[in-house]
Amino acid sequence: MATSMAASHAAGKRLKDAIFGANAACREAAEKYGAGKVTNATIGVMMDDAGKLASIPTMERMFRSLSIEDYMSYAPISGLPAYLDAVIDLTFAAHKPEGYFGAIATAGGTGAIHHAVANYAERGEEVLTSDWFWGTYNVICNECGSYLTNFKLFDEAQNFNLADFTAKVDALLMKQDSLLVILNTPAHNPTGFSLTEADWDGVLALAKKHAAKGKKISILVDIAYIEYAGEKNETRKFMEKFGSLPENVLIMFSFSMSKGYTAYGQRTGALIAVSASKEVIEEFKEINKYTSRATWSNINRGAMTLLTRIQQDKSALAQFEKERDAFYKMIQNRGALFMEESKACGLNALPYKGGFFLSVPAKDPRTVCEKLHDDFIFAVPLRLGVRIAACSVAASKMKGVAAKVRNTLQAIEG
């Protein structure tokens, strides 16, 4: 019998990382045939058209200008106060709803999602997200003692499937008194989809219906890719709807510096909450601070300082936003090219609105991805399809990918 020293609840934990495997195969091919030959659509960070890690120049300049104290001193457990104020402003821009606000610094967006699940999902109960989803949600739920379950993100017309969302929420609230819902929008990973204003009206009407029956509804909006979804205020319009909701509907946001600041490795983000209840926000601040103390204590002071310095310097901010916008357009062009070509060749790609990734449904994603290696295309097999990274594939290499995916799908699925 194999020996395990792990506690019974921890034994058997294994992180399955489809992305890592796909990336390794790509590296091997690049070594064998030359990097110019391969299309690496597996990477989750932004690469410029020369294949180099894209870094926002003003971010880089200001980060390098910080003092050793900024990098090395401890930060308060909840985060630097100026950082917390800034991330609330950044989250909502011109569309701040009515209500009370709270924020807590977290280790990336991942840390924010962790805290939301740890503190707003009952242990042993279910958390709801869409069937196309970032796999880490599942890992976090398991780690926190809850279970992730799904609704169908798309209906037959590839619109938001409010009917399935409603059916799942109704069913869960037959057996649970509270529910945490995670919605990754705008610019969803892995599809690039965004909920419309009308979709949000449907979601919130449902939340209110259950709240009126005494249920507690928490919605975590994962905005990791919001800076690559379109114009700042346009993409945040839906947030005004979060004002004056019932006190037993809590809206939270997972904010991340990873993509928006091209600061992936600095592990800096925030969990932000808006509520009509002051008490709910006071509680939010206390319980999340406690969880921070128990996980990472305090987070990266240098990166928090970087964000506030950029915010406080008007001309640096304008320059920073301009540079980031150029990167947004770079990715958007790659995505648009793929979508145009998909349409032209009859490939059923999911509706990409923005962000780092787009996806194509497949019955056997693993086989499709393996077969694509014959064309030197490396993509990530998910449960429901194939994910292609618009963030990492130069437009020159994106050309023709859609047709190759369609041909491969046809060869395998007929």
Ligand X SMILES: Cc1ncc(COP(=O)(O)O)c(C=O)c1O
**Residue ranges in contact with ligand X by CB under 6 A:** 44, 108-110, 134, 184, 189, 222, 224, 256, 258, 264, 269
* Encoded tokens for 203: 């979601």
Output 268 or 408, the one with its CB closest to ligand X. 268
Which residue has its beta carbon closest to ligand X?
Answer: 108
Smallest gap from residue 393 Cβ to ligand X (A): 17
- Minimum distance, C-beta of residue 184 to ligand X, in the bound complex (Å): 5
Q: How far apart are CA 327 and CA 46, in angstroms?
A: 8
Q: For the CB of residue 44, give the shortest distance to ligand X in the complex, in Å.
A: 5
Q: Compare residues 303 and 347 and give the one whose CB is closer to ligand X.
A: 303
Residue 316 phi/psi, 5° resolution?
Answer: -65, -40
> Minimal distance in Å, beta carbon 141 to ligand X?
14
What is d(CA 224, CA 187) in angstroms, rounded to the nearest whole number? Answer: 8
Environment class of 70 (CB within 10 Å of its CB; exposed 0-12, middle 13-18, buried 19+)? middle
In the complex, minimum distance from the CB of residue 281 to ligand X, in angstroms, rounded to a whole number:
23
Nearer to ligand X, 219 or 409 (CB): 219
Residue with smaller CB distance to ligand X, 372 or 389? 389
CA distances from 276 to 189, 247, 252, 279 (A): 30, 6, 13, 9
Least gap, CB of 304 to ligand X (angstroms) = 13
d(CA 186, CA 221): 9
Q: What are phi and psi of 268, to 5 degrees?
A: -130, 130
The residue to which tokens 């349409």 are assigned: 343
For residues 215 and 236, which CB has a smaller minimum distance to ligand X in the complex?
Answer: 236
| 350 vs 409, beta carbon nearer ligand X | 350
- Nearer to ligand X among residue 206 and residue 299 (C-beta): 299
Contact 332, 354 (CB under 8 A): yes
Interatomic CA distance for residues 162 and 306, integer angstroms = 40
Q: How far is the CB of 258 from ligand X (least distance, A)?
A: 3
Pairing of strands 216-222, 147-151: unpaired
